[in-house]
Amino acid sequence: MLRLSILFFCFPVFGAEVLDPIIVGSKQESKLSELTSSAQVITKEEIESFTSSRAVDILNREAGIDIVQTGLVGGAASLFLRGMESRHVLVLIDGVRVYDPTVADRSFNLSILNTLDIERVEIIKGAQSVLYGSDAIAGVINFITRKVSNRNSLFLGSGYYDQLAINYGSNSRFGYFNFSGSLQESEVDSSASDGEEKDLSNNQNLSLNHRYKRDKLEFETTIKRSRNFNYTDAQTGSLPSDDHDSYARDVQDFFREGVTYHYNQKYDVFLDLSLSQYQRYNKYLQTAPSDYGVQDAQGAISNLDFRVKEKKKDGLLLYGFQNLIETYENQGASDESLQMFDIYGMRKYIYDKHIFEYGARFTENQDYGQHLVHSLGYNYLLDSKRTIKSGVKTGFKAPSIYHQTDPNYGNPNLAPEKSVGAEVEYSYISSVADFYSAVFYNDVENFIQFSNSSFANVSQAKYWGVEAGVEKRNSNGVASANLTLTNYDLSTGKEAARRPKEIIKLNYLFLINSSHSLNIDFVYRGQTYDNVTSDKVTLKSYELWNLDYTYEAKNFKVMGSLKNVFDRDYETIAGYSTLGRNIQLNVVSYF
């Protein structure tokens, strides 16, 4: 789905003006049409029109994205972007990196996030290491929190998960404040596909956002806490099975202060300070001794990013530095830390219909030394509707503290994973229809995997494919479709686990009248493979149909959803449950 224009429920679709949103996650604050990378935007209107408020459900509708989970609502989620590893996708909140330093691959569990305090989501594809450093080999996903709200809301939901949420904003001479709080709970089935018990999942989110502007200064503050608890079922052999004492508990605290100084019409200065803290506790086996089958870890990320954007007559120049400190504590292991200092720059030239862009980033780390990445991009504006984008970019991912220092499996001699990627995209955008197609290629060397008794740089991985999408709009609604074809070549000779080679997503939003709408959603996901001990297991292809109905009045909205209409039985991870036919009913009251 292209998701390039904001047309839902606001005004008649036919003949609406096409918007060209500013992509904050580019750090250049560039228009979507002027980027040299493929990008998508999920707007506030789309988020609010979708029955589910779970971040994984919103993202999984987009082209090039595929999400798998260990179980149902709340299970640990892995996001594959154009087939690449979940750990190669950098997740941002308000442009600041978030990941869990206590897990081996330093990834982020998206299942703990909901969209109730999210203004929009930006997805930028291809290596973004020049602007964001380590971890952005496949791309970045930027969740922009709500700073200003036109109306307050109370959200109630029941079905395959229950939900209570509130969003409240106020404006004063001290700036705009926005508070969001939510509780989600689900107990519909076992995490194990062959299990009998119903496993509880509980998720709590609190966030406070503040925005204040005075003269040339702007201040943005984000404070966010997420708590997640899930009964996970034990994995005593090769597959999960019922175990009422096997669970995971996660707590994430996030603070960010962003300062922007508009020095004059030529210079803007940005400073981002952030601190993320993580606590994770896992209990695996009911029958295990108290100190066995347990992981009790905590970690923190402090980040300082300073940059200057200089407007030029022929484009712009962006330059800055970043200092990141990561700490990690684990039961039975010594405390460890990692520091990365980066200097980066990006130059964009705009000549009539031609946009050229190049950039570089230099990183220094006490363990693996120095690393240099660079990027080169080109954007040709054929006319007001048609654009061709292309780019060649390199990226890297530093080994995690766990990879290097774990007393049982760590390897202090690990080198960073490094990548080279290229893409070409053609897009057409008009007031009634959009179309795009892209070809992409990514090559990752020094691929980190578990080998024999420790982690090692043992292999190389290549990913290539085609992505295409179309969207058609008229006064009756919006129809869209997207296709992702991906192929893999792993030097180990194995299949890329849990990733299909073909995904088709179709969607039709039927605007019955100004108050009623019906959304029909279809996905086809091709055959995949998973590894169970030393055996390769085939996971069959499947197709899913989902229906969403919305009734919206002046002061309230009712949304009903029927998931997995034909009750398809399928798996995305061997041995773990997926959602059967289920309903969800949500009511939103505005005040």
Sequence-ordered list of residues with C-beta below 8 angstroms from that of 551, at least 6 positions apart, any chain: 515, 516, 557, 558, 559
More confidently predicted of 507 and 200 = 507
Q: Give the pLDDT confidence score for residue 21 in this predicted structure.
A: 67
At residue 9, does pLDDT exceed 60? no
Confidence label for 498 from pLDDT (cuts 50, 70 and 90):
very high
More confidently predicted of 239 and 398 = 398
Confidence label for 289 from pLDDT (cuts 50, 70 and 90):
very low
Q: 243: which 2 tokens?
A: 């175990």
Average pLDDT of the chain to the nearest whole number: 88
C-alpha Rg value of the chain to the nearest Å: 23
Is residue 86 helix, strand or coil?
helix
CA angle 571, 87, 91 (to 5 degrees): 100
Instruction: Count CB neighbours of 225 within 10 A.
Output: 16
pLDDT tens digits for range 328-337: 888 766 788 9
pLDDT tens digits for range 446-473: 999 888 888 999 889 999 999 999 999 9
Q: 421: which 2 tokens?
A: 């990627």
Q: Report how far residue 360's alpha carbon sits from residue 76's, in angstroms, rounded to the nearest whole number.
A: 34
Closest CA to 545 of 582, 572, 515, 517: 582
Confidence label for 18 from pLDDT (cuts 50, 70 and 90):
very low
Q: How far is CA 349 from CA 14, 45, 268, 316, 357, in A?
A: 35, 33, 18, 7, 6
More confidently predicted of 282 and 65 = 65
Chain-centre distance for alpha carbon 510: 28
Burial of 415 (0-12, 13-18, 19+ CB in 10 A): middle
Confidence label for 245 from pLDDT (cuts 50, 70 and 90):
confident
Q: Domains in the chain, please, with CATH?
A: 22-590 (2.40.170.20)
Query: H/E element holding 469?
Result: strand 454-474
pLDDT tens digits for range 555-584: 999 999 999 999 999 999 998 889 899 999
Confidence label for 174 from pLDDT (cuts 50, 70 and 90):
confident
| Residue 52 contacts residue 333 (beta carbons within 8 Å) | no
At residue 22, does pLDDT exceed 90? no
Confidence label for 16 from pLDDT (cuts 50, 70 and 90):
very low
Compute the average pLDDT of residues 178-199: 84
Where residue 263 falls (left for φ over 0; alpha for ψ -120 to 50; beta otherwise) is: alpha
Sequence-ordered list of residues with C-beta below 8 angstroms from that of 463, at least 6 positions apart, any chain: 82, 83, 84, 440, 441, 442, 444, 486, 487, 488, 496
Compute the average pLDDT of residues 61-89: 91
Measured in degrees and rounded to the nearest 5, phi and psi for residue 50 equal -90, 135
Which pTM value belongs to this model?
0.91
